[in-house]
Chains A and B, each alone.
Chain A
Amino acid sequence: MTAIPTPFTPATNKMRHQRLAIVVMAVIFLLAPLVVYPVFMMKVMCFALFACAFNLLIGFGGLLSFGHAMFLGTAGYVSAHAAKVWGFTPELAVLFATAAASLLGVLTGLLAIRRQGIYFAMITLALAQMVFFFYLQAPFTHGEDGIQGVPRGKLFGVVDLNQPLAMYGFVLAIFLGGFLLIYRIVHSPFGQVLKAIRENESRAISLGYDVDRYKLLAFVLSASLAGLAGGTKALVFQLASLTDAHWSMSGEVVLMTLLGGLGTIFGPVAGAVIIVTMENYLSQLGAWVSVVQGVIFVVCVLAFRRGVIGEIAHALKKPL
């Protein structure tokens, strides 16, 4: 049984080009609204952060969660409710939403890490379905309608986020902040231990690492960052709905990460750009969207397991 392919082995002296690539990426996202719709780019950034958070778990911890929509959805509802009903300022609403996702991450993580591999995927999927049914019935989510007309509010009570440029800056800052945090986590001693657990769990245990604690921490970090994305997304679209908590959303984030490249730094971002763009163009086609997604899944698994960025990194012989 071969593990999920690792396109790179991190070596600190080879990280310079990664930092350069991060700068390039930041500049692209900074200048993008000159060419494409800002709202579209904000959607891309929310999904990119979501996918990066997911990738932290599968790409570096080897844990495939099939229920990450529960964190995106939960944070979306919490952020929307806090901003609309309680009148939180946007930064507090997003923070509060992230905290809620972390809490949910602790609760579900404690259950899910009790099993590995395929079971882990099934358990996270089932727990996410439970959370989905809860939101379907809970009164504050307004069921099928969702929480609509969420005010973007004033950042720190000063900057009006209804101005497109201000909102763009806010989302960009959150996305880059989350991305850098994940980059830092991956290259930290903690990240190295995670990779050791992914490669050989029994050996990590025999070396004295408390494997379950590392897994739980990785799960909670991933959940929190997914929550950060979800909370921001609710403010961008001024809407929190059941779609974000549905299992198909969990599948979509798997798809983005797989297509971009599991276990790469930039893969999830590339995957999010491709999938969100594709859905933008295919949105009139209705059910065909899920067929196209399915085809991408099948092709990626059968013939393209490194993903877009993984292939580029392989060709360049440099980790990306």
Chain B
Amino acid sequence: MATLQSLFNLTGTITGQSDSVSISVNPVLTIGAPSVTSGGITTTASTNQEVIGTADADCYLYVRNTGTSGGGTGTGQIDVVTVDGTKTFGNLKVGDFGFFPIKTGIGVSLKYASAVTNVEYAIFTRP
């Protein structure tokens, strides 16, 4: 097994709220095999691109719509969908990212939404 050092920060001030946003966490994640350290795809109309299968173990998924903000040319959004297509639970505009554990048995596909875009992703199995 290996470990990854994570860091996540959210900071800012929201109109009408006295307390500022100040979230900062940095847990160490224990990682098993297999993994995808860095992957890239370009979305295609009418195609769900599977990145995690239903038979895959619990894992951490990182995904970012790199589009035009990441050196790509894509302007579309990405829907994050269960592999069976029954549930769309996430949506990433250009520049948006997500990091979340995925339970085994669900599977995840990334789906074209509105226009072609570029996707960066990584998957780390959780032991």
A, B co-complexed: no
Binding site for A on B (CB under 8 A): none
